[in-house]
Amino acid sequence: SLDYAQTARVEIARILARHGYSKPVPMPDISTKEKAQSYIGLDMKKLKAQKKDFINTVVPKWIQAAKKHGRFITKPM
């Protein structure tokens, strides 16, 4: 995805140059996954906590229901 972002930046610069705009275009720093997540507003601590809660509450219910109906697979296919 960082490659796509870099390609988009180059294309934006070309389009702006074609229309006579030569000043630098401010772009967010998305050089790392953490910076990109922060820039788009992802609260990773909150999301990880929600995932942990989901795994600890919902998944066991699914497993229990699958076992009850004889659909829980314990051996690899």
- The least confident of 27-31, 34-38, 45-49 is 27-31
Can you tell me the distance from the alpha carbon of 51 to that of 53, in angstroms, rounded to the nearest whole number? 5
The span from the CA of 46 to the CA of 37, in Å, is 13
Residue 76 predicted with pLDDT over 90: no
Q: pTM, whole model, 2 decimals?
A: 0.60
| pLDDT the model gives residue 62 | 94
Indicate if the pLDDT at residue 77 is higher than 70: no
